[in-house]
Structures are given as structure tokens and as C-alpha cells.
Amino acid sequence: MKKNEKGLSAWQLTMMALGSVVGGSFFLGSSVAIKAAGPAVLISFILGGILIYFILYALSEMTVANPDSGSFYTFTAKVFGPGAGFVVGWVYWTGMVFAMSSEATAISILLRQWFPGISIPIIGSLIIIAVTLLNLLGADKLSKLESSLAIVKVMAVISFIVIAILLIVGFIRGTAAVGVGELTKEPLLPGGISSIAGSMLIVIFSYAGFEVIGLAASETGDPHKTVPRAILYTVIGLVGLYILAIVTLLPLIPTADLSENVSPYVAALSRWGMGWAGTVINFILVTAILSTMLASMFGLGRMMRSVADEGHAPVWLKDKKDVPIRGILFSGFGMLLGLWLGLLFPSVYLFLISSGGFATLFTYAAILATHIKFRKCNGCPPEGKCQMPGFPYTTWIALISMIIIIFSMPAIPGQASGLITGIIMVALLYGIYFIMKYADNLRTNDKTKNHRKYRTRFSEEFSDELTKPIVKNKDNDMQD
């Protein structure tokens, strides 16, 4: 792959990260976390933000040292060996492909509310094909589109915050000031400390997707400056937006009134006479999910190219062009396969897409574990850019926290199957890797034996050719 001299800017990387992160998990799924933890969900979002800060800076340190398009896959393979890299790369790819195929289904269902006659299989397939083809335009053109979609999502969150503040202070005509509102009627920890732990899984999912910064690092002109700057912008922007949105939401509606089927922001505004919010948020949801799919496909294509370059994927997936066309098309085909699998075998599909959450958490745990060993082996990256404050304690705390969150998945309805599927997937991939390695060793041994046999036979033939003339000469001499 040729180096992009100009490359993506820190702003473009940040908008791509926000485009990948701010999606359905925040606009819709966060209602589960808020209902589980009550007002204490604010603590969950702060803790989640701290965890994301540590993970991002661990990723940044390694990316600055080696801005490879494979990012955490490449780092894991170099630090823990090719087997671990193989598993991390394929777990991430498989989980994200199934997750994005389910997102295509979600967009189809949302669009069907406005156009009842459309077919979910057809519109879902068209969305995946469009996302795939748009990714073939290249990083620069895609980042501009992604920035536009990300701005729509960010502006939607900011708009909610502004409207909520106006309701709280009483600047909406015909509506009395809400003030602290529902916060005076609810205990801070309605479910105890365990409710914070239970909500953390959904909170982390709301932050998920920032790893695209690492996958896009090879598309930047100067990753040593651009990547850390983009990560700083992402952390400040993302954590700030989320916390402000939750702080302004809590006075407007009792957390017990929230439902996983309705966005908490729609529910809050509708409660105060703003019924139009449902239509607007549905439009934002479509934009948010589409943006997430575009950014995810960007990362998946580059991940697959790196996996193929290491010999951990079919050789026909290797691609040296700036745009990993084969990796993108292969990922698009995987999403289509996932979509149609869901239509034909819905019970099996639901079991598989639940592994998407596990894949995300597993990847973040792998980044942290890799960072610990990376620093132990190499110290600070080149130019002394040790960005992780409090290392190694902070990285260890973040890693242990991620492991706890992974094994708390059964505490959230529907996520137990994700943990089971994820563990089976990891074991299966390790099995596939060792079978591949064994088969490769057999081929290598066969080639070595054939080479030795050929070399021995060649020596014998060569020796015969040398001795024959000598014998002939002796006979001639004897006859003479």
C-alpha cells in the first residue's frame, strides 16, 4: 500500500470516530442502562469515559510506534504471537460483520415506518451494497461523507442538550421551569452498587467504535502527531457530550418510565409536549446507524487486508492498493450473508449477533493486554511519547475492569448468549489456527523431504556422470 502523503487530518479522524461511536447504542440502547442504574448511570458514563480514555491512549502509544492498517491485530500478533493475532483479528471481523448486518435490518425497520410497502430483505441488502460501494471511494472522500453524517448526529445530541436546558430553566413558552425535577423523587442508587456494574456493559457499548482511529492510522500523513490529537479530541468530545446529555435528561423523566423500545430522548421530550421528537430522532437514528456502518466497513476492509498480508486469510484477499478493495468487498459479502441468515434462521441469527458485543469487549481487553507487554518489551514508543498516565497501574485496572464487564454480560437480558457464543468462537478460532499451522508444517516437511530426496538423487546421478568417463578412459587405456 502506498503511503498517503497528505492523508487524513486529526479532525477527519475524530469525525470518523464519532461517526462510528455515536449510534443506536446511545440513541436507543442507553435507556436500558439508565433504567437499570437510575440517576447513578451518570457514574457509569463517567467510569466508562475513564476506561475509554485508558484504552484509547494505550492504542495511541502502539499506533504511534507502528501506524499499521491492522492496528490492534498487528500489535497483538507481534507481542503475543501469530495465534493470538489470528484470533483477535477474526473475532473482531466476525463480530462486527454480524453486528453491522443487524444494523442494516434496524435501518430497514425504521424506514418501514415511513414506507410500509418496502421489503426489509431488499432494502437491507441495498443498504449494505451502498455502504460497501461508498467505501471503495477511498479514505479522503469517505471521511468527508462520514464527517457530514457525524455532524448531524453530534448536532442532534447538542440540540437535545439545549432544549433540555431551556426546559430546566423555564425558557420554553407555556411550560414551567422543570428545575431538578425528577431527581428529587428518585434515590441516587435505586438498585445499589450492583446496578452500576449492570449498566456498565451497555455504557461501554455506547462508547464502542473508537478503534477505527487505530485502523485508519495508516491513512494519515503524520500519524505521530495526528493520532494522539484525534484521540484527545474524541475523548473530550465524546465523554463531554454523553455526560451533558445524561445530566440534562435525568430531571425530565423518571428513569423507571424508560423502555428499551423507545429512545430515552424521545420519551423525555414527548413527556413535555414535544411529540415531533419521535420523528426527528428516528431520522437521526437512520443517519447514526448508516454512519456507524460506513465507519465500521472502513475499519473492516483494512483489518482484512492486514490479516491476509500475514497469511491468516485466503491469499486472494491480499491487496496492495490504497483502498483495500478485496477486503471491503469480502466484508460486504459477509454482511449480506449475515442479513439473509437472519431472515432464513432468525433464532440462530439472534444467537450469533449477540457475539458482536463480546467481540468489542474482547478486542478492548486484547488492546490493554497487548499494551502492557508492549511497554514491557519496548518501553516508550519512538520519540519518547509515553501517553498513558500512571502506567502500568492504569492499564492493569482498565484490563481487569474489561474482564469483569465481559463476564457480567449474563446480567443483561439477551447478552448471556453473547458470552457463550464469544467463548465458543475464540476456542473455535484457536482450533482453526492450530489446524492451519499443523497443515502448513506438514507441507513444509514434505517439501524439505522432497528437496533432500531430490538433492540425494541428483548427487548420485552427478556422481555417475563423473565416474562413467573415468571408467571408460581406463578401459580404453587397458585396450591400448
Contacts of 107 (CB under 8 A, 6+ apart): 123, 124, 127, 286, 289, 290
Question: CA 275, 42, 181, 245 torsion: positive or negative?
Answer: negative
Q: How many CB atoms lie within 10 A of CB 108?
A: 21
Domains and CATH numbers, the chain: 10-416 (1.20.1740.10)
Predicted pLDDT of residue 4 = 46
How would you write the pLDDT of the chain (480 residues) with one tens digit per residue? 444 446 677 777 787 777 777 777 777 777 778 887 888 888 888 888 888 888 888 887 887 777 665 577 788 888 888 888 889 888 888 888 888 888 888 788 778 778 888 888 888 899 999 999 998 887 777 777 877 888 888 888 888 888 889 888 887 776 777 777 777 777 777 767 767 777 787 788 788 777 777 667 667 777 777 877 888 888 888 888 889 988 888 888 888 888 777 788 888 888 888 877 777 877 888 888 888 888 888 888 888 888 888 778 788 888 777 788 888 899 999 989 888 887 777 666 666 666 777 888 898 999 999 999 888 887 776 555 677 778 888 999 999 999 988 888 887 766 777 788 888 889 998 898 888 888 877 777 766 665 555 555 544 544 454 445 544 444 444 444
CA–CA dist 177, 57 (Å, integer): 41
Predicted pLDDT of residue 67 = 64
Please give the DSSP secondary-structure letter assigned to residue 412. Answer: S
Contacts of 139 (CB under 8 A, 6+ apart): 4, 7, 8, 216, 219, 298, 322, 323
Predicted pLDDT of residue 395 = 92
User: CB-side exposure of 150: number of CA atoms within 13 Å?
Assistant: 26
* Cis ω for the linkage preceding 392 (within 30 of 0): yes
The answer for 391, left when phi > 0, alpha when psi is -120 to 50, beta otherwise, is beta
Which candidate, 176, 158, 172, 203, places its Cα nearest to that of 37? 203
Taking every pair of C-alpha atoms in the chain, what is the biggest distance, in angstroms?
132
CA–CA dist 128, 338 (Å, integer): 11
For the entire predicted model, the pTM comes to: 0.79
Q: How many CB atoms lie within 10 A of CB 282?
A: 17
DSSP state string for 249-317: HTTTS-GGG--TTS-HHHHHHHHTT-TTHHHHHHHHHHHHHHHHHHHHHHHHHHHHHHHHHTTSS-GGG
Predicted pLDDT of residue 1 = 45
CA–CA dist 59, 53 (Å, integer): 10
Per-residue cell: 402: 474489561
CA–CA dist 217, 214 (Å, integer): 5
